[in-house]
Structure 1
Amino acid sequence: MGCAESKEAIPAHNRGLVFRVKVLQALKLRTSCEVQVGQSNATRLESTRDPYVVLTCTGTSASQHTSTVIHDSDSPTWNEEFFFCVDTETPELTLTVMDKEAIKG
């Protein structure tokens, strides 16, 4: 368990700073869709949205964390906190919203 796993309090870190990120919500996410080719035409099928967030931060001891999946929502609310132990003065944070259904094979 690294510093990013704690949700109770901001953990101590003796090599640098602790970077706290709170993921609140997303609004009006686009629907991932599939195209099903029939005998005479193509039909667009909209899938449900099961979004989650992947947080990636450079210059940290634990560089990636993932939020919980919110099922069947285009405007999900996570309200989750993540902690990164930052070892650099210029960390770069990337948040990527993914759809769990889109990665099923």
Structure 2
Amino acid sequence: MTGHCCSVFRHPVTGKVAPWYLTVDGKFEHRQVFPAFATNDTELEVQAVLAGQVMGQLASFSAASYIRAKRLVPVLLQHMHARIGLRFLLPNRTAQPMRVRAFLDLALARL
């Protein structure tokens, strides 16, 4: 990543920069990147990568359609790591609004 213009995601509440998560020699590592671009907006980060301005470590659900359309090319595949998971947290209750159930069903089908 040294010598490349990279992007990082900055947490919107804490302002903390997320490291890049990698697998190196079979071990999980996180690397701090000195970014050319930092944002707390995932779509803006995707657009910066699509514009060829930076390399980014994008979530698969953000990049998948662009990869399928051959607008993005994955690199460093041998170092990819599924460190960050997407979780849905709900209050503990038996009655669930239909709109919440519909959203979960859609998200599970797409992700």
Q: TM-score, normalised by structure 2?
A: 0.21
Structure ID, larger Rg: 1
Which structure has more strand as a fraction of its residues? 1
Which structure has more helix as a fraction of its residues? 2
> Which gives a bigger RCO, structure 1 or 2 (Cα 8 Å, sep 6+)?
1
